[in-house]
Amino acid sequence: MLKQLLLFEQKYQFRQYTFIGSAILFLLLGLVLPRGGYGGDEVFKNAPYVISAGISLLSMSSLLAITLFTANIVLRDSEHKMEELIFTTRINKFQYVASRFLGLFSAGLMVLLASLLGMMMATLLLDKSQLGTFVLWNYLWPFLVFAVPNVLFCTTLLYATAVITRSTMATYIAGVLIYILYLVGSMLGNSPLMANADFSGSTPELLPVLLDPFGLTSFFGETKHWSVIDRNTLLLPLKGSFLLNRLLWLSISMLILLSTYQWFSFRLVSKNVGKKAKTTRPSVANAYKTTNTDPDRKVAKWQMLKSVVILEVKSILKSPAFYVILLLWLFLMGTELTETLFHQLFGISLYPVTGYIVEFVRNNSLAVIIIIFFSGEITWRERTAKVYELIDVTPASNFVFFVGKSIAILMLIGTFISSLVLTGVVIQGFKGYNNFDIGTYLSLFYYSGLPLFLMGVLSLFIQTVSPNKYLGLLFTCIVFGITLFSARLGIAHYLLRYAVTPELEYAELNGFSYFATAFNWYMLYWTAFAAMLSILSLQLWKRGVQSGWRKKLSVIAFRKNTSFTVSGSLALFLISGGFIYYQTNIVHPYMTPEQKTIFRADYEKKYKRYSELPTLTIIDVKTNVDLFPAERYYKVKGWYSLENKNKIPVNNLLVWLNQEAVLKSLVVEQAESLEKDDRFNHYWFKLKKPLQPGERITMEFSIEVAKPGFEKFNKENYITKGGSYIELEKYLPAFGYATQLELEDSLERSKNGLAPQVKSTPANDQYYNWVQYESTISTDEDEQVISIGDLQQQWIEKGRRHYSYKTSKPIPFMFAIASANYEVMSYNYKGVSVDLYCKQKQNANVTEMLKAVNNSLDYYSQSFSPYQYKYLRVVEIPHYKGNATAYPGVLFCGEKYNFLSDYRDSTKINYAYCTITHEIAHQWWAGQLAPADAPGAKVLTETLAQYSETLLLEKKCGRNGLSDYLSAELNLYLNLRGYSGETEEALAKVEGQNHVAYQKGGLVMYALKDLVGEEKVNQALQKLLTKFSSPNKKATVTDLLKELYAVTPSEYNYLINEWFNKIVLYDLKIHTATCRKLANGKFETTARVGTKKIIDNGDGKIVPLSFKEPLKLLVTEENSNEWSKSIYVNTLAFTGDDTVIKIITDKKPGSIIIDPYITRIEQDKTDNELEITMK
């Protein structure tokens, strides 16, 4: 009997539209997923890592499909009143439960098998260079360890909920609960999939790994340090924390299943059991009377609409499911919000600024899922309750039902958003932050509420045309999934992505102002479209017995006023869409990723031949810049003085301009225009007579840059009221071949017929070509402009504020501008005029930032060379792609991590202090010494700035305090090393891998300082500056290494070579540590220390290295974990894999630590410390 029942269940399942749709969807997801870039560009698309990540993610996504299967299949008997018949047949309890469960479980597995098939099929569509060897086991193993346990858990919990409660909504809640459980585990486990993932964190602890029912936290935690070769060849073994996770959730699944079987009653239970019988009252005869009504009257329509709204809202408010989902929602959002605000990168805690809260909660995928499910329940409520035949014969029009249900959805959205506002206010209150920006909170109802309502309208429309609720839910989820993730499917234009807008980013300086205009137009566009969907829904609204599509379409008829509405909505849709198209495709030409690739390839094919073309050097620059923040554009009129510094005459000149700028005029002295290339913004000029070496000419130009907010947000070039930032040098005319437009992806280069990219130092980049700069800048009267150079004067003319800046010496070709309404703090420090510009009342971190200014000027001037300018400006800007950037004498600092982060806890690292010290260091490393454009150039800028920052932080916090900072830097390097998915570059050859130049470079320089001493390293850097600062020849990393070799004892020169030219990983460990008390009252500790190191170039070949290095050893006092109370710290020589040492201390020791100050790079430092046992 069980076999027949199971076959019946499977046959029934596989015939359902929800199953067929889910199988097709997951097949398509399997086809698309390998293209998602999991693991990095160098990881094969069919690598074990990619397959495992894909299967684990898809098994989590299958939760939605299994929820629909459960609600549709398990509850069918109760919904169709078939329990009376089934429970009286020969089918017993075990057969009934087992067949239903196994049918549901097999359906879930079949859906994932479809995705597995899709992933296999994807290999037939991909380029062979992107694929490794096909191994069937690489697909089967992830399916066994991820898909089977995950589907089993989801199925058991959902099945149990459905069987016990016999409630569709309770089943939905169980699905949401599983999702929330995963999210909480991912947040606590610092999953890289989370938006607020902290890559500077260490390996997750056991609890969050166990909490994740899908095993994703364990998977990403175990594989985060894997190299490219590891990801291409290894499968995650079933051991350690991963094995514990799988066993735990398999056990929970079986426990739930057994409990469900025990709980389930294979008989009908009267709903009146346990209730007292109601006393019946005698019926009273009512006199029959007729009432005249006119359903077409406005008052009657209003009353009917009001009744429908009240009825729908009451049905929601009376449902326990609503409150359960609301509480789960608040719990999740509160947890996520707390994690996002107070656990940023490096553990930074933000002030709970209202705008940041609104920015985070504005766009939430869980809210969309909730709207989808409630839309389905509201649409089908009458049919589920079997009262639709009564209601559908009432005189209420389709308008009343559809609009009433839409208003109910709107009120539901309002309730959830209000709960978010309350959550934000509570979090602010607990943190003692009482600046409740009510206006910004209210904007959430627009910025979040309107897109969600448009989603609700679409969901109602889909449910209206769907033949059943569950298919409607599935199709709605598919549509929303495609909408939200369409960019990965090649549909990137927001005109094609329903109710989706460019991401909004908040800044205290200017709020959402940069994005508001575009958001308003997109909302107008999609609201018009939703209005047309609503009218179509009115025509197709379900009334009475369902009929076929042909009959439904035949009854569509628009009344006169409806026709006007349709026409108006269509006109608004076309007009707003046309305006958006003009802004996105005409004003700023739009290109898909594929078009951008073709653009770069075509550029290189056309202009690469001119890469060695002799060109002219800019000597002097003058600009007049007019900023119009309210109108969102700026104009530049400029002049160049050009000199031929080549050894040969120059006949032709190739000028190019950034794609964001529009050229208004361009005149080259003694030259005529030959050709204009509008596609690439390139312009050819022919000199009337060859310009001889040493001769000069001038060039005059004018450009205009508009930033209306529709284009992709560029954090280096934006202008809006309240806060603008422009890196002007990147948008002024440039000369010669634009190497930055080259196509870098090796596979795409091969596809487009380009040779492998070879980078070399341009001949004209070996010497400094710095410029004198002079600029007059105007802006709105209520804003101030900060730029490069000495401020000559400022004045107000015709309602605009003007500033004149001029440099007193040549500077790098770098001219940034910031404009906002600032509060200014000024003082003179040892002859340097220091100015800090920030928003009023945003001065919580200013004291530490100015302390960093003073400390940096003192230390760097004394240790390296004198500071070169008479001014130093620190300027707050709304947004920046990093944390801050340095220009000659000016630091532009993003507001979030410098001015709006909470550094009041003195036991934690103050990263505002670190930022200032790092960026001021660039006044030396890039500002005095600029590297030649060659591999390893970042070492001479970012590595040395990172080292300088570390030195000052050590002086501020001490070595013990610095260890937390270095530990975070090490974790960030190791994590990004794995997640980048690229073969690591050696430090001396680094080009694009910032984690190598910044984090690893800083650690290596600090280790060198620990090896030879701070004074000697600084002596080497002084000599480097003396030999290679302007106007001398530019330095390379080889020049730096030469100076470092000179100050390092010869027996350690090999370490410099290993650290800079190879990729070395250490493995240090305290194996044993015992102690005995001596006769003289002192204590002798004996420890066996393991010391190993390897070369790991990411090619799968691990090369052991002989060990002979000095390392620090630290011993703490008994019952004290504070390293500051250490009783022994010394540098000892370690040779070979194992070394036994003996240490005599006056006090009883507690623990012993090898390399306590993080001077060596190792993947696991947990075994560097061991508690000492007494003999």
> What DSSP line would sit under 255-306, residue for residue?
HHHHHHHHH--SS---TTTTSPPPPPPPP-----------TTSHHHHHHHHH
Spatial contact of 967 and 1022, defined as CB atoms under 8 Å apart: no
Is residue 660 one of the residues assigned to a domain? no
Distances (CA, A) of 373 to 156, 173, 476, 542: 21, 10, 9, 18
Please give the torsion angle defined by the CA atoms of residues 556, 561, 566 and 567, in that order, rounded to the nearest 10 degrees: 130
Average pLDDT over residues 122-127: 84
Structure tokens at 699: 């060039």
What's the CA gap between 220 and 223, in Å, rounded? 5
Distances (CA, A) of 914 to 163, 342, 757, 911, 962: 58, 19, 36, 5, 12
Domain check: are 1055 and 1068 in the same one? no
- Looking at 559, 578, 597, the residue that finishes a domain is 578
Q: Using pLDDT thresholds of 50, 70 and 90, give the confidence band for residue 191.
A: low
Spatial contact of 978 and 226, defined as CB atoms under 8 Å apart: yes
Distances (CA, A) of 67 to 60, 63, 168, 377, 1038: 12, 6, 9, 14, 62
CATH of the domain at 869: 1.10.390.10
Average pLDDT over residues 846-858: 96
Helices (H), 986-1099: 994-995, 1001-1012, 1014-1028, 1037-1047, 1053-1061
Domain check: are 252 and 325 in the same one? no
Domain check: are 973 and 1070 in the same one? no
Three-state SS at 891: strand
Is residue 1093 one of the residues assigned to a domain? yes
Is residue 447 one of the residues assigned to a domain? yes
Instruction: Decide the pairing of beta strands 717-718 and 724-727.
Output: antiparallel
Residues of the domain holding 1129 = 1064-1174
What's the CA gap between 144 and 215, in Å, rounded? 12
Domain check: are 140 and 181 in the same one? yes
Can you point out the beta strands (E) in 525-649? 617-628, 633-643
Average pLDDT over residues 1095-1113: 87
Domain check: are 336 and 484 in the same one? yes
The answer to which of 409-418, 632-641, 823-832 has the lowest mean pLDDT is: 409-418
The confidence score (pLDDT) of residue 74 equals 59
Q: Answer whether residue 1042 shows pLDDT above 70.
A: yes
The helix (run of H) or strand (run of E) holding residue 349 is: none
Q: Using pLDDT thresholds of 50, 70 and 90, give the confidence band for residue 274.
A: very low
What's the CA gap between 1087 and 160, in Å, rounded? 56
Q: For the whole model, what pTM was predicted?
A: 0.87
The confidence score (pLDDT) of residue 1107 equals 94
What's the CA gap between 679 and 325, in Å, rounded? 53
| Dihedral sign computed on CA atoms, order 915, 916, 918, 919 | positive
What's the CA gap between 1137 and 525, in Å, rounded? 69
Q: What is the pLDDT of residues 442-454, one digit of tens each?
A: 999 999 999 999 9
Q: Which residues on neighbouring strands pair with residue 1139, listed in sequence order?
A: 1089
User: Which residues 6+ apart lie within 8 Å of 801 measured at CB?
Assistant: 778, 779, 780, 781, 783, 784, 785, 794, 795
Domain count, the chain: 5
Q: Answer whether residue 278 shows pLDDT above 60.
A: no
Domain check: are 320 and 467 in the same one? yes
Is residue 716 one of the residues assigned to a domain? no
The answer to which of 88-92, 940-944, 1005-1009, 1067-1071 has the lowest mean pLDDT is: 88-92
Domain check: are 230 and 344 in the same one? no
- Looking at 1016, 1042, 1061, the residue that finishes a domain is 1061
Spatial contact of 382 and 388, defined as CB atoms under 8 Å apart: yes
Q: Answer whether residue 770 shows pLDDT above 60.
A: yes
The confidence score (pLDDT) of residue 1124 equals 65
What's the CA gap between 97 and 101, in Å, rounded? 6
What's the CA gap between 1104 and 1107, in Å, rounded? 9
Average pLDDT over residues 682-700: 94
Q: Using pLDDT thresholds of 50, 70 and 90, give the confidence band for residue 271.
A: very low
Q: Using pLDDT thresholds of 50, 70 and 90, give the confidence band for residue 975.
A: confident
The confidence score (pLDDT) of residue 371 equals 85
Q: Return the closest-CA partner of residue 700 out of 671, 725, 680, 661.
A: 671
Structure tokens at 340: 């996002």
Distances (CA, A) of 60 to 182, 215, 648: 9, 10, 66
Q: Provide the total of helices (H) and of strands (E) in the chain, helices listed first.
A: 37, 29
Highest mean predicted confidence (pLDDT) among 187-191, 293-297, 321-325, 824-828: 824-828
Burial of 292 (0-12, 13-18, 19+ CB in 10 A): exposed
DSSP summary character for residue 670: T
The confidence score (pLDDT) of residue 13 equals 72
The confidence score (pLDDT) of residue 623 equals 97
Domain check: are 214 and 129 in the same one? yes
DSSP summary character for residue 396: -
Q: Return the closest-CA partner of residue 50 out of 297, 234, 278.
A: 234
What's the CA gap between 1056 and 1078, in Å, rounded? 41
Q: Which residues on neighbouring strands pair with residue 40, listed in sequence order?
A: none
Spatial contact of 163 and 260, defined as CB atoms under 8 Å apart: yes
Is residue 651 one of the residues assigned to a domain? no
Residue that the structure tokens 């469900």 belong to? 260
Is residue 98 one of the residues assigned to a domain? yes
If one counts every other C-beta atom within 10 angstroms of the C-beta of residue 410, the result is 17
Domain check: are 98 and 203 in the same one? yes
What's the CA gap between 455 and 595, in Å, rounded? 30
What's the CA gap between 870 and 361, in Å, rounded? 45
Percentage of the residues of the chain whose pLDDT score is greater than 90: 48
Q: Return the closest-CA partner of residue 72 out of 19, 108, 34, 111.
A: 19
More confident residue, 624 or 262: 624
What's the CA gap between 908 and 348, in Å, rounded? 9
The confidence score (pLDDT) of residue 393 equals 67
The confidence score (pLDDT) of residue 1114 equals 93
Is residue 662 one of the residues assigned to a domain? no
Domain check: are 326 and 345 in the same one? yes
Average pLDDT over residues 618-643: 96
If one counts every other C-beta atom within 10 angstroms of the C-beta of residue 273, the result is 6
Question: How big is the chain, counted in residues?
Answer: 1175
The answer to which of 24-33, 618-627, 644-653 has the lowest mean pLDDT is: 24-33
- Looking at 1061, 1088, 1114, the residue that finishes a domain is 1061
Domain check: are 535 and 416 in the same one? yes
Can you point out the beta strands (E) in 542-586? none
User: Which residues 6+ apart lie within 8 Å of 344 measured at CB?
Assistant: 196, 198, 350, 897, 901
Q: Using pLDDT thresholds of 50, 70 and 90, give the confidence band for residue 1039.
A: very high
Ramachandran quadrant class, 786 (left: phi over 0; alpha: psi -120 to 50; beta: rest): beta
Residue that the structure tokens 């009451």 belong to? 314
Q: Return the closest-CA partner of residue 470 out of 828, 72, 814.
A: 72
Is residue 190 one of the residues assigned to a domain? yes
What's the CA gap between 997 and 1003, in Å, rounded? 10
Q: What is the pLDDT of residues 880-935, one digit of tens each?
A: 888 899 999 999 999 999 999 999 888 888 999 999 999 999 999 999 999 998 89
Q: What is the pLDDT of residues 151-174, one digit of tens each?
A: 999 899 888 888 887 777 777 778
Q: What is the 3-state secondary structure (H, E, C) of 676-741?
A: EECCCCEEEEEEEEEECCCCEEEEEEEEEEECCCCCCCCCCEECCCCCEEEEHHHHCCEECCCHHH
Percentage of the residues of the chain whose pLDDT score is greater than 70: 90
Domain check: are 27 and 116 in the same one? yes
Q: What angle, 0 to 180 degrees and rounded to 10, lies between the N-to-C axes of helices 911-921 and 942-979? A: 120
Q: Which residues on neighbouring strands pair with residue 677, listed in sequence order?
A: 682
Q: What is the pLDDT of residues 206-258, one digit of tens each?
A: 777 888 888 888 888 888 888 888 888 889 999 888 999 999 999 999 999 89
User: Which residues 6+ apart lie within 8 Å of 352 measured at CB?
Assistant: 341, 424, 427, 428, 431, 433
Burial of 719 (0-12, 13-18, 19+ CB in 10 A): buried
CA angle 835, 838, 844 (to 5 degrees): 105
